[in-house]
Copies of this chain bind each other. A is one copy, B any other.
Amino acid sequence: MDLNISFLQRLLSNITRGKGYRHHEVAAQASSLSQLASACEALMQRGGEAHLVLKAQQALSHYAGLEEAEKHAFFSLLAEQYSARPQAIHDAYEAYRQQESNAHLQRLFQACEPRRQDLLRRLNQCPGGTYELVRMRADLLGMLRQDPALAPLDADFAHLFSSWFNRGFLVLESIDWNTPAAILEKIIRYEAVHEIRDWSDLRRRLDPDDRRCYAFFHPATGDEPLIFVEVALCRGIPGSIQGILGGGDEVAPQDADTAVFYSISNCQAGLKGISFGNFLIKQVVQELKRDLPGLRNFVTLSPVPGFAGWLDARRQADQCRLDMEQAARLDAGDWADDEAARAALRPDLQGLLAHYLVEEKHRNGQPLDPVARFHLGNGASLHRINWLADTSAKGLRQSHGLMVNYLYEPDKIEQHQEAFSREGAVACTAELRREARHAQPLLNVAAAV
């Protein structure tokens, strides 16, 4: 223990010196941090199972009291002192090298497992521990950019969370006006796509006549939603988000033929990379089909968060030739209220968006736009571009007001998904491909790639 504590003190003074954390509390903190370090040591000891739950509680409560610099020091401690033991690895590898048996592999695997994985499992023993660890990882993720040495620790969190937040453990719940206020309050807070202004706004979004909302929960994190999707029921595929957020044409549930997934929000920063969204959409499609057999279309009305940024970059790099006047209007930002300007810009903007979605690729061969990657990766197809579909300031800023419908066709999902994962194929309508081709002359494609 002494070892770890002097390690921590050295670490903490480096961190606070180097990274702009507040200095004045270092001394006092060292002691509270060292209590955490001691509790972790105790948890890992053999007799430590005695009061495992109690000690895990103490450790998590020490952690909760730390300043940010101390948390950073704690993570460094885990990364450096709770790794595996090199000699055990070398010995196990030597045995494996001589005979590549399952038994030798098992020994090597165990030798390689960082001790911090076991520590995290032990911290998870106390009631409520899982949620504390999710928040701990959220803290860690915030420090990862500054300090890439923490990446292996993050990998350990991710490894455990993918086991703990396994699909088989998730519970789908319908969220409505009979849901406890404590959960609804979190829905308001976690909505990340189209802000929920207040309880009245929420109530409209849960109107049983033409709205649905579903969330995944995990038994060990209780009332904390992990991800949720908001659904509007309507006739026909809608082309404007303001229509939906404003309340829309009311349609009786049994007359609706279309379910629109117009907002999907991840709730827990600490679960980054643990994917629930695809399971959620597919299960919600099944629920809706069962409850409302009249539904024919399952679509999104999705933002294109990267479009305006991409177009800007292209224009700055002189790889996109917009008509001068059009370009000026676009830059002035006042075109959306001017009918003539709208008419002039529409064909080019739609074409450029179609091109952006269909042709522009991330370095991993998948679409550049993250929302497109998500839905196409789930097996949806690109169905329609909607002109001036989001006229909010945010909508104009990020995608010049354009939005996209992705279409989920239950019997084509698998085929789309496999083509997408195998060759990055983007499923889309002929109309969209036509629009994408329209944009070719505007782009210096040679330079672009």
Contacts and interface: CB of A to CB of B under 8 A. Distances in A.
A442 interface: no
Interface in A181-235: 181-182, 184-185, 198-199, 203, 219-220, 223
A440 interface: no
Interface string A239-283: 000000000000000000000000000000000000000110010
A177 B179 CA distance: 11
Given A49-B421, A124-B168, A164-B163, A177 B180 contact: yes
Given A50-B418, A53-B167, A417-B49, A149 B179 contact: no
14 contacts: A90-B97, A105-B112, A105-B114, A124-B168, A125-B167, A126-B167, A127-B168, A130-B169, A164-B166, A177-B181, A180-B180, A181-B181, A181-B203, A198-B199
A402 interface: no
A151 B83 CA distance: 26
A422 interface: yes
Contacts of A431: none
A15 interface: no
A103 B414 contact: no
A316 interface: no
Interface in A80-115: 80, 83-84, 86, 89-90, 93, 96-97, 100, 102-103, 105-106, 108-109, 112-114
Contact of A279 (B53, B124, B413): B53
How many chain copies?
A: 4
A414 B114 contact: no
Given A124-B167, A125-B167, A198-B199, 8 more contacts: A50-B379, A53-B279, A53-B282, A83-B105, A124-B168, A179-B180, A181-B199, A199-B199
A155 interface: yes
Interface residues of A, number: 73
Contacts of A279: 53
A270 to B, nearest CB: 15
Contacts of A180: 177-181
A74 to B, nearest CB: 16
Interface of A: 46-47, 49-53, 79-80, 83-84, 86, 89-90, 93, 96-97, 100, 102-103, 105-106, 108-109, 112-114, 121, 124-130, 149, 151-153, 155, 160, 162-164, 166-169, 171, 177-182, 184-185, 198-199, 203, 219-220, 223, 278-279, 282, 379, 413-414, 417-418, 421-422
A129 B171 CA distance: 14
Residue of A124, A166, A178, A184 most packed against chain B (CB within 10 A)? A166
A307 to B, nearest CB: 27
Contacts of A220: 166, 168-169, 219
Residue of A106, A130, A160, A282 most packed against chain B (CB within 10 A)? A106
Contacts of A80: 102
A224 B203 CA distance: 18
A182 B177 contact: yes
Contacts of A105: 83-84, 89, 112, 114, 152
A50 B167 contact: no
Contacts of A418: 47, 50
Residue of A102, A103, A422 most packed against chain B (CB within 10 A)? A102
Given A112-B108, A126-B167, A46 B421 contact: yes
A102 B89 contact: no
A50 B114 contact: no
Nearest to A108: B112
Contacts of A103: 151-152
A47 B421 contact: yes
Given A164-B166, A168-B124, A278 B49 contact: yes
A422 B47 contact: yes
A205 to B, nearest CB: 12
A295 to B, nearest CB: 18
Given A47-B422, A86-B100, A121-B166, A109 B106 contact: no
A181 B180 CA distance: 6
